[in-house]
Amino acid sequence: MKDLSYGNEGKLILKFAIPMLLGNVFQQLYNIVDSVVVGKYIGKAALAAVGTSGPIIFLLVSFIIGVTMGFTIVVSQFFGAKQLDNVKKAINTLYIFMFFTSIVVSIGGIMLSGFIFRIIDLDPAIVPDATLFLNIFLSGLIFLFGFNGTSAILRGLGDSKTPLYFLMGSVGLNIVLDLIFVPVFHWGVAGVAVATIISEACAFIVLVFYLNKYHNVVKFSFRNLTFDREIFMKSIRIGLPTGFQQTFVAAGMVALYWIVNQFGVDANAAYSAAGRIDSFAAMPAMSFAVALSTFVGQNMGANRPDRVKAGLRATLIMTSVISLLISLITVFFGEFMMRMFTDDPVVIDLGGDYLRIIGAFYILFSLMFVINGLLRGAGDTLIPMFISLFSLWIIRIPVAWFLAMNPSFGVHGIWWSIPIGWFSGVVLYYVYYRMGYWKKKAVVKYKSGEVSKV
């Protein structure tokens, strides 16, 4: 556990973000390996099937992920205020919530999977593989929720290293199983899904054993779990808007896939493969945003809002430099990276164009995510939800459709709609941040001038 309410703001955020960044890199690495194995050993139709399943999975789990962020902020603010009893109550309440919701989402997703793929107008030749992959993946959702929920709790307590170590083991196991189940056993897309479930289950189970033996605060025991209604309602107040925000983002991704599907399998495969690289490139901004959220949460909990602006400034500088470097790599080496996934020249060209267009604007994505991270850490999630809704559904999706239907742009219009949406988000987030309402949203309340006691 790490107290982030004392010490140099930039150094604290950097040290906290690096393990998360490495963890996210490893997470995306095995997503990329999944796609490489599928694209090289099965074909571009299977690559499109697995790629299309990604946004559907995100859509099904995004609401719960968002609500979990509310619990993480509550944990970080209670920890900043040194209220360890409330920290433990929040952790227990989160575990109970995630156990039941994972079962509901798994069953509901499996029942609706075929219907969802028909709604987004997925090529009928791809639907069987996409449905098979999605159903197998959803059957192990309880392990995904368990591991990610526990990792989120640890990050709220200032520990970003422990989740990294277990994630690295999970990723290594997943890659090995991919290379056994697909090229050797010839299980197709089912092999990729089974490998993911096994690796997630092992990571969660081993992490629970480790924490129960060595951690002072985070303990997992069905017998001792208790549900605290008051803390649950506080977490829901913060997490519910974030849950809706995540759902809007996920639904937007699905909507973009629907537009991409109008251009055939080649466009779908290119979007799926380039999207893996795009996700990889977005990791630094996302990791630093989460680090800033925890930093802000603990400092708001300790009644030290003076440190928040300094933390934001340091995070913006670091992420901007990293984003510019990533932009250079993506713009100039996009087609080279696409060749990892497929040898099809049409898919490579389309994916390369996507990466050149998107890659040039990563700094906008970085600015948007970092400011949103500050607001979320302060417990201010309602207005950011509406900003996300506006930039995605009022700007990006309509622009994507309008430009895609214009012969001068075609599928490239979809690519251009993404940075246009980012730009609108940056402007709105910055304006709202400057209004300062986020300063009044902390869970722990203090009298004027009071600071938490160690």
Which pLDDT tens digit goes with each residue over 99-149? 899 999 999 999 998 888 888 778 888 889 999 999 999 999 999 898 888
pLDDT(34) > 80:
no
d(CA 385, CA 62): 13
User: Model confidence at 452, in pLDDT bands (50, 70, 90)?
Assistant: very low
The pLDDT tens digits for 391-421 are 989 999 999 999 999 989 999 999 999 999 9
Q: What is the three-class DSSP state of 327? A: helix
User: Model confidence at 444, in pLDDT bands (50, 70, 90)?
Assistant: low
Distances (CA, A) of 255 to 52, 119, 125, 258: 11, 10, 20, 5
245, 425 in Cβ contact below 8 A? Answer: no
User: Model confidence at 442, in pLDDT bands (50, 70, 90)?
Assistant: low
Distances (CA, A) of 35 to 175, 183, 329, 355: 11, 13, 21, 17
- Predicted pLDDT at 451: 46
Q: Determine the average pLDDT of the residues in 228-243.
A: 86
d(CA 90, CA 94): 6
Question: According to DSSP H, which parts of 42-83 are helical?
Answer: 44-80
Q: Where are the domains of the chain?
A: 9-440
The pLDDT tens digits for 135-181 are 999 999 999 898 888 888 888 787 888 888 898 899 889 989 999 99
pTM: 0.73
Which tokens in the block code for residue 148?
A: 């990610």
Cβ within 8 Å of residue 82, ≥6 positions away: 452, 453, 454
69, 372 in Cβ contact below 8 A? Answer: no
Sign of the Cα torsion 199, 200, 201, 202 reads positive
d(CA 25, CA 1): 23
The pLDDT tens digits for 253-309 are 888 888 998 898 889 889 888 988 888 888 899 899 989 988 988 888 778 888 999
Distances (CA, A) of 30 to 33, 39, 167, 342, 431: 5, 14, 11, 17, 37
